[in-house]
Structure 1
Amino acid sequence: MDRFTTRPEIAGTFGVVATTHWIASAIGMSILERGGNAFDAAVAAGFTLQIVEPHLNGPGGDLPILFHDARSGADRVICAQGTAPAGATIAHYRAQGLELIPGSGLLATVVPGAFDGWMLMLRDHGSMRLRDVLEPAIHYAEHGHPMLARVASAIADLAGFFREEWPTSAETWLPGGIAPEAGSMFRNPVLAATLRRVLEEAEARESRDAQIEAARDAWYRGFVAEAVDAYFRSAEVMDASGQKNRGVLTADDMARWQASYETPVSRDYHDWTVLKTGPWGQGPVLLQGLALLEGFDIGAMDPNGTEFVHVVTEAMKLAYADREAFYGDPDHAEIPLATLLSDDYAASRRNLIGDTASLEQRPGRVPGFEHLADAAIERARRVVEVEASVTAGEPTMAHLTDRRGDTVHIDVIDRWGNMVSATPSGGWLQSSPVIPGLGFPMNSRAQMFWLDEGLPTSLAPGRRPRTTLTPSLARHQCRPTMAFGTPGGDQQDQWQLIFLLRHIHHGLNLQETIDAPLFHTAHFTGSFYPRQARPGHLMIEPGVGEHTLTCLRRRGHLLEIAEPWSVGRLTAARREASGLLRAAATPRLMQAYAIGR
């Protein structure tokens, strides 16, 4: 394939930061310049992204982090995915006349986990004080930042809905009653005051660790939780179901929850080892995809050619079918992950990849779990009619509809070899009304639960939703090497799989790999309301060439040709054995940037 890049691959030895917004990347790099490590930089960048990309994430959202600690040599996951409230029972939701959990509004909310996840990492692995990492976000909330065109468009599209149904959101996103213009300075003084109060309460303590613990208390057991509780006890708001509903989240739910550490799930692929979250996220589907593709000579395929696109797409269909059948919170359900990641299972499934596009949902027949496969097939057949005016809940990509949110991503490597890959999401401005006095909305992650009994993803109090958020780390020849990821809901592990294959097999550098045309399928049941499947679907950028598109149609793929440069928001950072650092970020949507020296 022809090699070109839209921008240079960043290279240096001091540190690299790649995020989905140039301001957050600059903030992360500034933390490294001031002597902070990768953990400090990621926290500062993460809070900044909540301010500058409010249509993609917010303080009321959720967060998984994968990191490598150079000092201990450990690779760990921080799970900052909040759990379902105590009142979130199937019986309660069914009593509201619901068959699916709405994609927006108060019933879609679980405990907001992002704040505690950032605090846990800062306390245990960072070196800076709380003020150092919060001040940039406070500054941009208080003094303003240039409004992204896509944020302005999202607000303008929802302005009438905000005025009529979510007046607290209108107060925040429509200053003076008017939708902000693209490029104008936008401020959120209420959110700035919230963060400043957290910082003031924290700094009443003396030590660094005590301040971080005080901030966690303020958020989950103090004034933030109290404000959330007060609003949820009285508010009934319109959501994607087309009716007004009251939420079930309480201050007690927030007080009982905290972020936690886990061991990553991993799989070897050639001379690489890829690390992901457990099956409470969708990360293992990338590992299943690698297992399936080990039986193909990927390196011999044109990375923009028909065979590559076809084989990878068919592998993704199989892996995602298993996700829909078997994944869920392993603390609450038995997940046959060892079987799903085994060589024997991959070999048996690999035989299903033929020369033509599959139009069937084909989860595996795992002994003892056959009923889950059958249930997944049945769910995929459901067709749900949704009133378009209230579908504000699906975080996929802006090229599908400006009313939907998305996600953000951060990759950082410092000069000591610490690595962070984080994918914050949730709590975007489209998801839920702004909490009075706090300046931010809550998440809508509960929409990933089913209101059917007996599934790993059945709604239940204290259970984590099976999220789509999926950061990545990779080791090359046993050496910590790469952090990478992307926003994009169900597409995240599809784009990451394509990125990894092209980088490993075709010798493309990070920027060349990210710039190459991308594709994904919506063949399987979606994670977001209204949970639809599109059998045989394949969205693809036209940059692969007309010959590839023609041949894919002949193989039975139902093509949706994307606008050029509109699919995927990948970022990546890599550390060579020599200590040389590299980083890259997508040019798509003209927001992401990599910085380093």
Structure 2
Amino acid sequence: MFTTRPELVGTYGMVASTHWLASATGMAVLEDGGNAFDAAVAAGFVLQVVEPHLNGPGGEVPALFATAGSDRVEVLCGQGVAPAGASIGHYRDQGLDLIPGTGLLAATVPGAWDGWLTLLRDHGTRSLRQVLGYAIGYARDGFPLIDRVPMTIDTVAGLFAEHWPTSAAMWLRDGKAPAPGSRFTNPVLAGTWERLLAEAEAVSGREAQIDAARRAWSQGFVAEEIEAFCRTPVRDDSGRDHAGVLTAQDIASWQASYEAPLTVDLADGWSLHKIGRWSQGPALAQQLRLLDGRDLSYVDGVATADTVHQAVEATKLAFADREAWYGDDPDVPIDALVSRSYAASRAALIGAEASLELRPGTPEGRAVTLPSYVDSGRAAGPATAAAGVGEPTVSRTGTTRGDTVHVDVVDRWGNMVSATPSGGWLQSSPTIPSLGFCLGTRAQMFWLDEGLPNSLAPGKRPRITLSPSMASRNGRPVLAFGTPGGDQQDQWQLCFWLAHTVGGLNLQAAIDSPTWHSNAVPSSFYPRNWTPGELVVESRLGTSAIASLEQRGHRVVDGGAWSLGRMSAVARDPETGLLYGAANPRGAQGYAAGR
């Protein structure tokens, strides 16, 4: 199969991400003697600067990681929780049936800073200044704007000018977006980071400094500035102005944590590791369970029409369960949902024709209750993102229908990280002028119905779309991968997994292989639209395959030849010590680096 680039192979280290400056930064840290954790943190902070429409300091970071010398995979939870004042009653009293996707009402506790610093403290080797210095340099001295940033700013320029003056002051030049490729600086953000470093370096010792920086954020000036800003109402998707409910106490009361991953054993010695019930990660495990033992095939590196059909029907079943069952609730029957017996009963629903229904299952015989907004059919409508390289679909009101960034790192010792940072998009919430960044809007993923696994409640994590992945083979961690893309993340990862494990393609060829996704699942993003039967494909699947899918009842949308996904991946062969890396060519932005 034709590939756009070679799969990188080396022995020293590999970094793959959604932006070349982040990949280069991660590799520079490895070259300086840092490990994979140091490199991932440094790359993560650079991504906050150079892809500000996709993530920022006010967002979150979930990650999977494995440490050298151990076969155990762990989850880093850098996903903040709903504030104490975020009750269903508070939102309902304001006439809302959905949490707006923009403004201040959707803010959860920012988790990225504490998440990255916790990972650095416990598993890294470099000082905070050594890893944060790269991002500070880009924020202070400037970086080239990729085309998508000005495009996004142009879309919301009117909102900025009329309702969000602090964002207009930062992102507009004479009322317009800066030119693509121009050098852009964010000196206020650089100053915020320098102030955090100054408070950290007032104490001695690497770990003590990192903890001091965490406190300076959560119990110091950052939390105070966030609370003060949230008290002023701002315009959001509802068409009205609302104040936020996030307080300094909410921020001080939360910290990043570790937990065990959801792990499922698959064929040929593979095991998949995902974040559990509070993410959509189990959907990839469910899809693979549903496809276990089925006749799947690739021809010249391209999935056959029958393979795509079966995969898409498995996606619909898994994501229907996501809507009914996933959430930050200990009563979620997660083990049953990913069990072989449950998958076998559900797989019988995959027929020769495309399903146009949302069909959640009944794990352990439990009765199904869907969110009223989904169950009523009110959410049916035009697709939220027919195509795109994982970039967000942005409305004039700033609504971002899902996207983020991704970074994977493996080092010569065997440390491995897969992280999917997101939130704090420049277009989704007004800039806090004293800090140089905006808040996230992840609470839009909660439902305002009582009694659901993903019902809004104070101190609860939203059921996020962010879904990094790691895989072991014969009990040893060997592969880290992921992609931005909101609801498409675990669909595009399925395409990659099948191309790699069924099609036999190397990492780069698997990323390059034609991709698809279904829009026949409710969106996780305001206004929660979905289109039954809609299937978006890359045209490289071939006219014959596309015609066959249409004959089976799929409502096929041709997304273009190279349009879907922003996958990256790294791998390690524990027997030879060889390292591998690959990144997405779509959009001419993602790169892998290594030697």
TM bracket (short chain): over 0.9
The farther-off stretch of 120-129 and 374-383 is 374-383
SS in 1 for 2:105: helix
Match for residue 350 of structure 2?
A: 353
Cα separation, partners in 2 of 1:418 and 1:527, compared to 1, 3 Å: same
Cα separation, partners in 2 of 1:365 and 1:354, compared to 1, 3 Å: same
Match for residue 329 of structure 1?
A: 328
Q: Shift of residue 564 of structure 1?
A: 2.2
Asked if the contact 2:229–2:432 (Cα under 8 Å) also holds between the matched residues in 1, the reply is yes
Which of 581, 584, 587 is the matching residue for 2:582? Answer: 584
Asked if the contact 1:59–1:440 (Cα under 8 Å) also holds between the matched residues in 2, the reply is yes
CA shift digits 1:183-215 (9 cap, x unpaired) = 000000111100111111101111101100011
Match for residue 377 of structure 2?
A: 381
Which of 125, 128, 142 is the matching residue for 1:127? Answer: 125
Q: Matches of 1:557 and 1:111 in 2, distance apart?
A: 40
Which of 257, 260, 266 is the matching residue for 2:257? Answer: 260
Q: Shift of residue 159 of structure 1?
A: 1.4
Asked if the contact 2:389–2:566 (Cα under 8 Å) also holds between the matched residues in 1, the reply is no
Asked if the contact 1:395–1:488 (Cα under 8 Å) also holds between the matched residues in 2, the reply is no
Match for residue 508 of structure 1?
A: 505
> How do residues 140-539 of structure 1 correspond to structure 2 at under 5 angstroms?
140-175=138-173, 177-233=175-231, 235-270=232-267, 271-299=269-297, 303-330=302-329, 333-367=330-364, 369-372=366-369, 374-375=370-371, 378-379=374-375, 381-383=377-379, 397-398=390-391, 400-401=393-394, 404=400, 406-539=403-536
Match for residue 563 of structure 1?
A: 560
Q: Matches of 1:491 and 1:191 in 2, distance apart?
A: 31
CA shift digits 1:382-436 (9 cap, x unpaired) = 23899x9xx99x9993374586362000000000000000000000111100112
SS in 1 for 2:119: helix
Residue identity in the other structure for 2:564: V
Which of 18, 23, 26 is the matching residue for 1:25? Answer: 23
Q: Shift of residue 479 of structure 1?
A: 1.9
CA shift digits 1:228-275 (9 cap, x unpaired) = 011112x11111111111110000000000010000101111120010
In the alignment, is residue 87 of structure 1 matched against residue 80 of structure 2? no
Match for residue 117 of structure 1?
A: 115
> How do residues 34-49 of structure 1 correspond to structure 2 at under 5 angstroms?
34-49=32-47
Residue identity in the other structure for 1:297: D
Asked if the contact 2:418–2:470 (Cα under 8 Å) also holds between the matched residues in 1, the reply is yes
Match for residue 68 of structure 1?
A: 66
Which of 100, 103, 110 is the matching residue for 1:102? Answer: 100
Q: Shift of residue 376 of structure 1?
A: 7.0
> How do residues 538-557 of structure 1 correspond to structure 2 at under 5 angstroms?
538-557=535-554
Gap runs ≥5 in structure 1: none
Q: Shift of residue 369 of structure 1?
A: 2.9
Q: Matches of 1:397 and 1:471 in 2, distance apart?
A: 15
The farther-off stretch of 476-485 and 274-283 is 476-485
The farther-off stretch of 139-148 and 561-570 is 561-570
Asked if the contact 2:388–2:565 (Cα under 8 Å) also holds between the matched residues in 1, the reply is no
Cα separation, partners in 2 of 1:188 and 1:127, compared to 1, 3 Å: same
SS in 2 for 1:298: coil
Residue identity in the other structure for 1:309: V
Asked if the contact 2:380–2:530 (Cα under 8 Å) also holds between the matched residues in 1, the reply is no
SS in 1 for 2:47: helix
The farther-off stretch of 151-160 and 75-84 is 151-160
Q: Matches of 2:177 and 2:236 in 1, distance apart?
A: 21
Cα separation, partners in 2 of 1:399 and 1:253, compared to 1, 3 Å: closer
SS in 2 for 1:273: strand
Asked if the contact 1:301–1:307 (Cα under 8 Å) also holds between the matched residues in 2, the reply is no
SS in 1 for 2:581: strand
CA shift digits 1:88-146 (9 cap, x unpaired) = 00110011110100011100100010111101100000000000011000000000000
Cα separation, partners in 2 of 1:409 and 1:256, compared to 1, 3 Å: same
Residue identity in the other structure for 1:158: V
CA shift digits 1:46-91 (9 cap, x unpaired) = 0000000000000000110100011344311001110000000011
Q: Matches of 1:152 and 1:375 in 2, distance apart?
A: 36
Q: Shift of residue 486 of structure 1?
A: 0.2
SS in 1 for 2:159: helix
Residue identity in the other structure for 1:16: M
Asked if the contact 2:389–2:564 (Cα under 8 Å) also holds between the matched residues in 1, the reply is no
Residue identity in the other structure for 1:190: V
SS in 1 for 2:432: coil
SS in 2 for 1:589: coil
Cα separation, partners in 2 of 1:378 and 1:16, compared to 1, 3 Å: closer
Task: Please tell me the root mean square deviation across aligned C-alpha atoms, in Å.
Answer: 2.0
SS in 2 for 1:54: coil
Asked if the contact 1:380–1:533 (Cα under 8 Å) also holds between the matched residues in 2, the reply is no
SS in 2 for 1:370: coil
Cα separation, partners in 2 of 1:475 and 1:283, compared to 1, 3 Å: same
Q: Matches of 2:309 and 2:479 in 1, distance apart?
A: 27
Q: Matches of 2:339 and 2:210 in 1, distance apart?
A: 41
Q: Matches of 1:301 and 1:282 in 2, distance apart?
A: 30
Q: Matches of 1:279 and 1:179 in 2, distance apart?
A: 40
Q: Matches of 2:93 and 2:372 in 1, distance apart?
A: 24
SS in 2 for 1:363: coil
Gap runs ≥5 in structure 2: none
Q: Shift of residue 561 of structure 1?
A: 1.1
Q: Matches of 2:233 and 2:475 in 1, distance apart?
A: 53
Asked if the contact 1:66–1:422 (Cα under 8 Å) also holds between the matched residues in 2, the reply is yes
Cα separation, partners in 2 of 1:399 and 1:127, compared to 1, 3 Å: closer
Q: Shift of residue 371 of structure 1?
A: 3.6
Residue identity in the other structure for 2:313: E
Residue identity in the other structure for 1:239: D
TM-score when scaled to structure 1? Answer: 0.95
Q: Matches of 1:43 and 1:344 in 2, distance apart?
A: 40
Residue identity in the other structure for 2:305: T
Q: Shift of residue 381 of structure 1?
A: 1.2
The farther-off stretch of 363-372 and 429-438 is 363-372
Cα separation, partners in 2 of 1:375 and 1:92, compared to 1, 3 Å: closer
Match for residue 3 of structure 2?
A: 5
Residue identity in the other structure for 1:223: F
Asked if the contact 1:399–1:566 (Cα under 8 Å) also holds between the matched residues in 2, the reply is no
Q: Matches of 1:377 and 1:299 in 2, distance apart?
A: 38
SS in 1 for 2:180: coil
Residue identity in the other structure for 1:306: A
Residue identity in the other structure for 1:474: A
Asked if the contact 1:277–1:470 (Cα under 8 Å) also holds between the matched residues in 2, the reply is yes
Q: Matches of 1:593 and 1:516 in 2, distance apart?
A: 17
Q: Matches of 2:123 and 2:225 in 1, distance apart?
A: 30
TM-score when scaled to structure 2? Answer: 0.96
